[in-house]
Amino acid sequence: MNPRKVLIVGGGSSGWITAAYLNAALNRNGRKVADICLVESPDVPTVGVGEATIPSIHHILSVVGIDLVEFMKATDATFKQSIKFTNWLKNEGEGYHHSFQRFRDAPIDNTGADWFSSDRSIPFMETVSIQPKLCDMNLAPVMMGRWDFGSPLKFAFHMDAIKFAHFLQKISTARGVSHLLDHVDDVVVGETGNIQSVKCRSGQVLEADLYIDCTGFAALLIEKAMGVGFVDVSQWLMCDQALTMKIPYEHHYPGHVKPYTTSTALSSGWIWDIGLQNRRAVGYVHASDFVSTDEAEKELRSYEGAHSEGLDTRLVKFKVGYRERAWVGNCVAIGLSAGFIEPLESTGLYLSDLAAVMLREYFPMTDDMSQLAYRYNRIIYNRFHEILDFINLHYCLTKRDDSAFWREVQRSERVTDRLKAKLEFWRHKGPTDTDFEDQHFPTTPASGAARPEGFSDVRQPIDTGNVFPASSYEAILFGMDFMGDQMAERLGASRHRTQVHPRVAGRLQAAPAKLPPHDVWLKQILQMPNYN
């Protein structure tokens, strides 16, 4: 059987993740299932501001066959163990961690329930995970040599997304992926509704069995050619632009590299702050209806400090939402062309990872792709709404009233109906794994969002817990003091003292002798320069 022709239009992280993963996963053991070509315009710049990931990135690296040290050197990557949220609750300097790993007691894990009814004198994640304190001590999640410190710690990365795309391009083209630098001017759609070919500025005509749209917000194939609409979710997530800044370490080095992402709430949104090997990347994600660009820049520079004067900023506008269908006919949208959700929990690259993994599982061997597309669209739809609810959760629990933005996000109409049902249920018990069996609670709406013509699935989207399980919801709910006032009133003086689990405390005490400072590991293993 001849290989199926796959044409990826657009590069960047999404395009090259898709190319590298499909090539590695499909073309193996001497068999060539897919003939993959990627065409990208030499005139369209790649959006890259420094990218944080979640642990799912390890699957992509493993399948493609990428060595961790080689990857980190090529992308200026550093470790990420957690996200620390600051000033989200009251704007009084408070903070909490959503770390990647937590201890579970056996045979029954009552740690969440115990904390819920305690006096809450210690942040929840610090009672069940060593990673918040490891982050505060700026320790790496790996050792200098062979690991001998119990169960390995989960981690992800901060990296330069543009360098990651170039790294994957080099690997992919060396392994047989064709790469063309040309601008796609036209997309030819046949009478059947499928794409027949794309026409390039050079005059070249490219044909394939399967077309993958990685053209970003331009959505050249999925929207402009196939006419697939966009579902706006800005009712629930009001931020619509980001003001970004790069701070080279030659200009200002803070004395360490944090092994976690910081998310600090400001007047009309929040700032991401991640450290790479050669610079820090910060960005103020904000709602333009509540703060002008000039005022947002003043807030960003005030956050960064006096040394930010003279450093350039860049404004990135975005639409929060998703395609009505990510796969229609013989066209699949991956990356920004399929949708965007603000990167509060570092899910941008994850959605591209997921799309590539699913496309390998659903790879069409015939021209009838309708059943595969139906199922693919259902899963993408589920996963987007799972992330939407989880991001929405961070906002709706705030108690801030110091700005119009924070007062607005607490209003009922700014909370998704699905999230309202979850919160109402969790007022009676904390999140547990069985809550993700079918995700239907007493007040859950009966049907999902309106679906486009030709897409008959009107069921409510369902969370799987694969991205954000019960432990993740615990981290945010308890970090934002969910039901704190109610439990204090209900239990009063009978609330017991919050305790750190002995196994967590013991492991944490041993950690400094086992784990090196993050920047020391980066310097010794990756040869990061000594900016001190």
Task: Supply the residues annotated as catalytic.
Answer: 80
Q: What does the angle CA 348 – CA 352 – CA 357 come to, to the nearest 5 degrees?
A: 140
* Whether 259 contacts 84, CB under 8 Å: no
**Joined tokens for residue 508:** 């944490």
Of 42, 115, 49, nearest in space to 285 by CA: 49
CB atoms within 10 A of CB 151: 9
Q: What does the angle CA 323 – CA 318 – CA 78 come to, to the nearest 5 degrees?
A: 100
Q: Is 211 exposed, middle or buried (0-12, 13-18, 19+ CB in 10 A)?
A: buried
Query: Phi and psi for 69 in degrees, rounded to 5?
Result: -65, -40
Query: Phi and psi for 153 in degrees, rounded to 5?
Result: -85, 140
**CA–CA distance, 192 with 210 (Å, rounded to integer):** 14
Contacts by 460-466, CB closer than 8 A, 24 or more apart: 460/418, 461/381, 461/382, 461/384, 461/385, 461/386, 461/418, 462/382, 462/438, 463/382, 463/385, 463/386, 463/389, 463/436, 463/439, 464/382, 464/383, 464/386, 464/436, 465/433, 465/436
Cis preceding linkage at 107, omega within 30: yes
